Amino acid sequence: MIYCGIDWAEKTHAVALVDDSGQLLAKRNITDDSTGYKILLDLLVEYGDTEENPIPVAIETSRGLLVAVLRVGKRQVFAINPMAAARYRDRHSVSRKKSDPGDALVLANILRTDMHAHRRLPDDTDLARAIAVLARAQQNSLWNRQQLANQLRLLLREYYPAALDAFAKWTNGLCRPEARELLKTAPTPAQAARLTRSQIIAALKRSGRKRGIEADAERLREALRGDWARQLPLVEDALGKQMLALLLQLDAACTAADDLAQAVEEAFPQHPDADVILSFPGLGVQLGARVLAEIGDDHTRFADARGLKAYAGSSPITRASGKQSSITRRRVKNDRLNHASYLWAFAALTASPGAKAHYRRRRDECGDWHASALRNLFNRLVGQLYHCIQAHEPFDEALAFPAPVEVPTATAA
């Protein structure tokens, strides 16, 4: 067996090949372009790489053009966690020295000694990979939108609290098109106080509002004319210009989030596993796409439900030494899937009577806190998801949360 390790970098990559005995057979530095990729593939062929028996490769990333080139065909590509690679490096040197060729050699030796202990990249379909790109991008856009909305809210508190009071009635107020349009129309409290009822109505119509315009216009007019403390005029105008610049970024973030959400809604229902995922309580198109993006559609990726639970971070971890033992939550996990799990379990409380009963039992009988009870609920749901996807069966409430069997009590004779 020949094993290949690649130390990934921005411009050049260090490549090392070793045999079963750990002897270094070849090392190269390749560029991150088509010429470099051809040199790498030719080097692998030189040492026995074939289409039927490709040389396995270890690398510290799971995405990028280099990984896409290596994943063509039957080749096994292992994405080694950089923290794990650092621990292996310490096995061979106590001086803490580090170099790119040395890291490539360490990665190759990881496969030589412990390939069975590492999980290769899954053989997901092209559609699943495309959904993963869209779902992660949409999630990133939501995080970016919220970050910009928080910055805008902090700025408005400094000089424009009337706007915050006016939009407080709306859920996620600053991200709504009505709020953004009104801020563009009146970027300062002085301009807001001079807004007429017809100007507010026109701004609401420009934002796309169709109903309840008259009542909201009167409420907004009174709120914007409220008695609030004010900055000096020149300072207020400067802060208004700063707010407009930040508002442009928020507009772009809101548009990006909406466009990516539409792309996810078009792509996700086309996947064969979409109907199974959407049958679960608490999972809609967006959240279901995030779950599929992280677990993939390679049904051989996880040997059993326990592996998926550990990957999602829902199953606890036990630390035992001698007579001491502790059970804690898992910290090394897929953070995106774990974030989706909290939303999934929370939404399932209102969509599934069995999920709500399980949550209440964990709270009342086991004494779990809210987050711990939700994590336990998700641990159960993800196990059921694994079974349903493997068998391609929809979620069944009666099987997932069967009613407890009442044991009859003996009566006195």
Q: For residues 402 and 358, what is the distance between their CA atoms, to the nearest angstrom? A: 10
User: What pLDDT score does 408 carry?
Assistant: 64
Q: Residue 41 in contact with residue 57, Cβ under 8 Å?
A: no
Helix (H, G, I), strand (E, B) or coil at 316: coil
Cα distances from 53 to residues 18, 40, 270, 412, in angstroms, run 16, 16, 33, 74
Q: For residues 22 and 42, what is the distance between their CA atoms, to the nearest angstrom? A: 21
Q: Residue 222 in contact with residue 162, Cβ under 8 Å?
A: no
User: What pLDDT score does 413 carry?
Assistant: 46
Q: Is 96 exposed, middle or buried (0-12, 13-18, 19+ CB in 10 A)?
A: exposed
Locate tokens 């907004």: which residue? 220
Q: What is the DSSP string of 123-166?
A: ---HHHHHHHHHHHHHHHHHHHHHHHHHHHHHHHHHH-HHHHHH
Residue type (1 letter), 334 = N
Q: Residue 98 in contact with residue 157, Cβ under 8 Å?
A: no
Neighbouring-strand partners of residue 318 = 327
208 φ/ψ sector (left φ>0, alpha ψ -120 to 50, else beta): left
Q: For residues 105 and 23, what is the distance between their CA atoms, to the nearest angstrom? A: 10
Give 3-121's CATH code, choosing from 3.30.420.10, 3.30.70.1140, 3.30.390.50, 3.20.10.10. Answer: 3.30.420.10
User: What pLDDT score does 172 carry?
Assistant: 83
**DSSP category for residue 411:** P
Question: Cβ–Cβ contacts within 10 Å for residue 324, how many?
Answer: 7
Helix (H, G, I), strand (E, B) or coil at 8: coil
Q: What is the DSSP string of 318-359?
A: EEEETTEEEEE---SS-HHHHHHHHHHHHHHHHH-HHHHHHH
Q: What is the DSSP string of 161-191?
A: HHHHHHHTTSTTGGGSHHHHHHHHH--SHHH
Domain map (residue ranges) of the chain: 3-121, 130-266, 274-400
User: Percent helix, strand and coil across the chain, each rounded to 5?
Assistant: 60, 10, 30
Locate tokens 């210009």: which residue? 241
Pairing of strands 12-18, 24-31: antiparallel
Residues near 4 by Cβ (< 8 Å), separated by ≥ 6? Answer: 15, 16, 17, 44, 55, 56, 57, 58, 108, 111
Q: For residues 216 and 140, what is the distance between their CA atoms, to the nearest angstrom? A: 32
Question: Cβ–Cβ contacts within 10 Å for residue 209, how many?
Answer: 17
Q: For residues 188 and 153, what is the distance between their CA atoms, to the nearest angstrom? A: 14
Per-residue burial over 132-154, b if 16 or more Cβ lie within 10 Å, else e, is: bebbbbbbebbebbeebbeebee
The pTM score is: 0.86
Q: What is the pLDDT tens value at each position of the chain, 413 positions in all?
A: 899 999 988 888 999 999 998 899 999 999 988 899 999 999 999 998 898 899 999 999 888 888 999 988 889 999 998 888 888 888 777 777 788 888 999 999 999 999 988 889 998 999 999 999 999 999 999 999 999 999 999 999 999 999 999 998 888 889 999 999 999 999 999 999 999 999 999 999 999 888 889 888 999 999 999 889 899 999 999 999 999 999 999 999 999 999 999 999 999 999 999 999 999 999 999 999 999 999 999 999 898 999 999 999 888 888 888 888 887 888 888 899 999 989 999 999 999 999 999 999 999 999 999 989 999 999 999 999 999 999 999 999 999 998 776 656 655 54
Q: What is the DSSP string of 268-292?
A: GGGSTTHHHHHTSTT--HHHHHHHH
Closest CA to 24 of 118, 115, 98, 104: 104
Q: For residues 254 and 10, what is the distance between their CA atoms, to the nearest angstrom? A: 31
